[in-house]
């Protein structure tokens, strides 16, 4: 595996998929990279960095206070690099930090976290990033340094955006961190009805891809807390309202030349896979243990679509 400096970065070359619809894998812990890559997935559809940060045992603010910014950036680089290396040249979508305040509260320094009645509706994802750019920028610095090291398979994804303003502000930070949005693949998660309904404006903001975070999209569409056992029976990722938001978003993205994907748990379920392939999604990212089944399900649905079209 030869790395190239960023000046001579390779063109964006997609890895040939087994199916027309790419099947990728979700990775939450860098140590799982090897097992994830062995599935034959076409890339990583979601690499979470929360585990890398939460295992420091301190809030980012406290960790940086004690160890400096450079050490924090190095921690992120080391975790992402493990996955980017294992998958190279297959693409790896890395998401900026998205931990709710109740998770930060468990850590040293957590006493300074805001007290929230409902952390899932609160200070997390891109809202926190934009409100606290000093920390957010360190994540982007880490990604930029990975590009400089030759990991041109890294892609940047922003969580919990609501509208084009969120996206344009995040993009501005990316540019200031030295990442050229025209040269790198970057995009957003579609996790709120607002993001799905405003997809045309998000596309205009320049995203390359939109990835459905159905864990959150379901809870916000149905007003069902994903962590509340009393309403767990109402939590339905295949609810017609959720599917309508997803279907309409895919259609607009196709018109706009934006790739679509799913990285929520529902991407591992066969009914959702059937729906998404029917709708023409570009890729599906599944849990490690589900990748093989999803690959077969995608193939089956694609073959049925071909047969239907010639009948
Ligand atoms: C989602 O919301 O579907 C998602 C993948 O993000 P997370 O589960 O980390 O909130
Ligand atoms: Mg989410």
Ligand having the closest approach to the CA of 264: 1
Q: How far apart are CA 156 and CA 94, in angstroms?
A: 5
3-state secondary structure of 191: coil
User: Ligand 1 centroid to 92 CA: how many Å?
Assistant: 16
Nearest CA to ligand 1 atom 8: 215
Kindly state the tokens that stand for 166: 């969120």
**Host H or E run for residue 109:** none
Share of the chain above pLDDT 90, in %: 93
CB 140 within 8 A of CB 179: yes
Which residue lies with its CA nearest to atom 4 of ligand 1? 213
State how far the Cα of 112 lies from the Cα of 46, in Å rounded to an integer: 29
pLDDT of the residue at 11: 43
Are 153 and 90 within 8 A, CB to CB? yes
Q: Which residues, in sequence order, are CB contacts of 266 under 8 Å at separation 6+?
A: 212, 214, 215, 218, 237, 238, 272
Whole-number pLDDT of residue 4: 56
- Name the nearest CA neighbour of 42 among 62, 23, 69, 66: 23
Mutate to test the pocket of ligand 1, among 94, 103, 157, 189 (most ligand atoms within 8 A of CB): 189
Q: Which of 16-25, 134-143, 168-177, 275-284 has the lowest mean pLDDT?
A: 16-25
* For the CA of 212, the nearest atom of ligand 1: 3
Nearest Cα neighbor of 26 from 73, 77, 83 is 83
What pLDDT is stored for residue 13 in this prediction? 41
Protein residue with its CA nearest to atom 1 in ligand 1 = 213
Q: What does the pLDDT average to over 118-131?
A: 97
Note the Cα 136 to chain centre separation in Å. 16
Pocket test for ligand 1, best of 94, 98, 290 (most atoms within 8 A of CB): 98
Ligand closest in space to the Cα of 214: 1
Q: Which residues contact 163 (CB under 8 A, 6 or more apart)?
A: 194, 195, 198, 201, 202
Report the nearest atom of ligand 1 relative to the CA of 213. Answer: 3
What digits encode the pLDDT tens for the residues 142-191? 999 999 999 999 999 999 999 999 999 999 999 999 999 999 999 999 99
Which residue has tokens 């379920």? Answer: 269
> Which band of pLDDT confidence, cut at 50, 70 and 90, is reported for residue 90?
very high
- Give percent of the chain above pLDDT 70: 94
pLDDT value at position 9? 46
Dihedral sign from CA coordinates of 30, 179, 195, 132: positive
Distance from C-alpha of 212 to C-alpha of 260, rounded to nearest angstrom: 8
- Confidence at residue 295, expressed as pLDDT on a 0 to 100 scale: 96
Give the position of tokens 């450079």: 70
- Which residues' Cβ are closer than 6 Å to ligand 1? 46, 48, 98, 191, 213-216, 263-264
pLDDT confidence of residue 311: 83
Atom of ligand 1 nearest to the CA of 215: 3
Asked if pLDDT for residue 3 goes beyond 70, the answer is no
Q: Please check the confidence at residue 5 and state whether its pLDDT lies above 90.
A: no
- Which of 17-21, 44-48, 300-304 is least confident? 17-21
Q: Which residues contact 194 (CB under 8 A, 6 or more apart)?
A: 162, 163
CB atoms within 10 A of CB 174: 22
Give the atom of ligand 1 at the shortest distance from the alpha carbon of 263: 5
Ligand 1 atom at minimum distance from 159 CA: 6
Tokens 């009914």 -> residue = 271
Distance CA 47, CA 58 (A): 21
Reported as a single tens digit per residue, the pLDDT across 52-88 is 999 999 999 999 999 999 999 999 999 999 999 999 9
Residue 131 has pLDDT above 60, yes or no: yes
Tokens linked to 103: 């998770």
């Amino acid at each position: 595996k030869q790395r190239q400096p960023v000046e001579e970065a390779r063109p964006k070359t997609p890895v040939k998929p087994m199916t027309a619809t790419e099947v990728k894998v979700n990775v939450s812990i860098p140590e799982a990279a090897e097992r994830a890559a062995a599935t034959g997935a076409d890339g990583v559809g979601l690499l979470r960095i929360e585990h890398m940060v939460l295992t420091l045992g301190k809030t980012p603010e406290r960790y940086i206070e004690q160890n400096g910014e450079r050490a924090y950036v190095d921690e992120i680089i080391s975790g992402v690099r493990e996955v980017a290396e294992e998958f190279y040249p297959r693409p790896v979508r890395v998401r900026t930090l998205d931990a709710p305040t109740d998770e930060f509260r468990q850590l040293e320094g957590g006493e300074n976290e805001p007290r929230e009645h409902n952390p899932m509706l609160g200070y997390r994802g891109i809202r926190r990033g934009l409100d606290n750019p000093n920390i957010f920028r360190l994540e982007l610095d880490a990604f930029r340094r990975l590009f400089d090291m030759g990991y041109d398979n890294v892609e940047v994804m922003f969580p919990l955006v609501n509208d084009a303003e969120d996206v344009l502000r995040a993009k501005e930070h990316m540019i200031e961190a030295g990442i050229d949005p025209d040269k790198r693949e970057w995009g957003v998660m579609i996790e709120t009805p607002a993001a799905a309904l405003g997809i045309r404006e998000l596309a205009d903001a320049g995203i390359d891809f939109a990835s459905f975070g159905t864990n959150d999209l379901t809870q916000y569409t149905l007003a069902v807390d994903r962590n509340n056992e009393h309403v767990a029976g109402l939590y339905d990722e295949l609810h017609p309202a959720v599917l309508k938001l997803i279907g309409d978003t895919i259609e607009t993205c196709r018109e706009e030349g934006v790739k679509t994907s799913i990285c929520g748990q529902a991407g591992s379920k066969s009914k959702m896979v059937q729906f998404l392939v029917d709708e023409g999604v570009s890729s599906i990212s599944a849990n490690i243990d589900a990748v093989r089944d999803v690959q077969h399900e995608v193939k089956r649905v694609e073959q049925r679509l071909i047969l239907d079209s010639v009948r």
